[in-house]
Structure 1
């Protein structure tokens, strides 16, 4: 709404047509942080014309954020240290006093244009005020500051990427003396950027160019980040961030690399090395990062627990989803010696496992935010639910002095969408929005393992007298695979069927997966080994997702 009289209301529901259109952006998509050289700190003071009960007033707004100095094509740029400070003039303070408000809690909604080569997308920076509520002074002005996370900006082509502030919404939760509610309980102000704003609201320009180096094809990934496999599968990104991706001329088609290569693979003998006892993937043994509870009830002598986390690409949308740190409960099988026709000696072990989050066989809920060109930012809360037994099949080739291990992890996982917000407004997808079947991967042994399921392979080596490298069940390491996202079903409420829309935009094959398992904890050991278990018998090592 634009005009001289504001609406006194709680934040209203936005246009449903736009919400349905934006739903095509729904996906477990979180792109990487950009590989940037230096930073640029933005502190822009912008004039806005806001509709107040007393009429239109000029409001001073300061927008602060930190952007990278430059970025690589196909990477993502995440603004950090984002804040919005609004200085309401004396007439606005008088309006609040007239409503008997003695304190306010602010929220802001800053709209932005993200542009490159004439293509443009819209992003939204939502900010909330810190506690306690802000006291309304006897007379103005009143300064309100909000902070919040900003969605990332993904540049699909070379050239300058510009970020420009446009409309601003200010939502004020009001309270009278003693915390009693006012009537109305909130005031929402619609503001437009003044025509005389310096720079017309331009906040930042980020130069985008090609990567300075590319990883050698066909080599194994380094601990700091995998290269895209020789098959051309995309690479998972580096950090859990949201994503805004303006599309336009020059946007690549087919598989893309949302992650940045770190150092070339094969650069050292510690490549893909499993963490040592007492050492996490970050190399620190002093502190254990926060992680979900991972306790085994009624453990046996063969019970293990471990954390796992990583990324799964969404090929259709050219990005990747962070799978959060999740607890895995493992019951080891008995090892067996086998003499197959190849004439070598093999040690085989088949273990069973399951995800555990608050007693349910699933990951913790995780959020993803994405914006395709021309749509509104859309955030979804999702979980991966285990739909059947998870198996861990290890085959160790006993060839002295090297013992070479291959481990296949197979898990039937259904992707369930729990909640959706479009531009901050909840979109009801119903209680049963999920993939029709579990995620599926190419299966090397379909006769033994029928049905759809995710398959991940870990390769490791145990050299006598030295540490293990790669993946082993007990020491952990990287697991990789490729997954097909099935069609969706049960999505929509109130007569709206969103199944085909979601399926057309997300479902499909060729999505590269990389997960990192941490060092296991032998739960039943009375005195756990230092660095492997906490004092209450949870896994000590919390792995870090790798590109």
Structure 2
């Protein structure tokens, strides 16, 4: 997003009021509770068929939440206390044991259809295990996993019953080995479909909208579709009509880091009206596929690429263009004791390469011991949640943004050639733990992980400079490469060789993130998204 600060005077006596004004501008994008008569508790027991390494398995899923028993048109309906419990059968536990996993950290992605008067919108209920310890994998099944999390609000644009129906389910498991390190692979993702024999076909809840005696929708005037973004969505414009711009990332926007607009109705091919990029896609450089299959109103996608030094080898490795999926958090305003005013936002993200949380494979060539050419094929594999924490210091008119990106990444070595001769490192060669960086807040972000910092400035009337989440920019950091494990075959232990050649501290890293695509904006601003909702901007690595 090309953000800039609002046109407000600079004296500090006006700063607090100006900051509040900026926060009010974000208010439509922040969920708010709906006025309702009372709560309704829902508990749904749903059978799902999930794809596991050993084949499809029936999995029992229980979803609980609290919803209002009635709401008003135009007011946000907030589900609270959303909990998803997944019971994996014995066969699934055997699959985890075969991968040598002794613990798992679960995340869930429950997709829903939100329907009113035949108009449909999509919502995604995400859940995590929070700060609880990893779940131990039993010697034999079953294994029960529980996740919770805040979910999007829903707003109905007219009176009438609104239904929420569960559809697909994704279960992401971060796997832990006996020594506390990650397994190979470091994660397992299960794609699940609702079983055909599910009672009620996945219906979770019905919320009446309007007065006790609902007002019927006039014939020939369908109500606007419900929105999973927390506000009504206008019907799609007719052919030839002007389409309003969503706030995904227009130039001149005064809302840095805000989510894109939600899209009402069933997702289809984006309309071409007002799309200035329609004839320019041929100029876009080639890039890996980067599509969010289950987006919400806060979903962003972006490409990232750059270099990482390998200090011991006196060279740098280029990390290829990689897809990042981002789910924005709600912005919050903070008034710390020092008298400053901050706009905070913490988002979640993950790498995505062909459905796996990793970069594409990449090759790097170094002179080992200063004279032997060595080529290695590697990937960076995500071993846990990635967070994007943004802090905008509101000092008008030149707001200062700092963003920390934290990601636990394991370096896996797939293939090595030394002076043209293949060195068989085997299928399990990787760093013993994730890469690690100095962490400014270790109490909040424990454990080894990469830390990159982006700094930006949003000056009134101009595009953002430096790094801002939605418009991208440079991210830099310093990383320690841990010791290697699992390298070698046939009794040949290559761990010490790779550790001596590569591992160590002080490796500078610089990544360039491109402009994000606000996935669910009906007609994105020029240069944000391709017609099939992939990021339009493919960044170029910089040293």
TM-score of the two chains, using structure 1 as the length reference: 0.48
- Structure 1 or 2, whichever has the larger Rg, is 1
TM (norm. structure 2) is 0.48
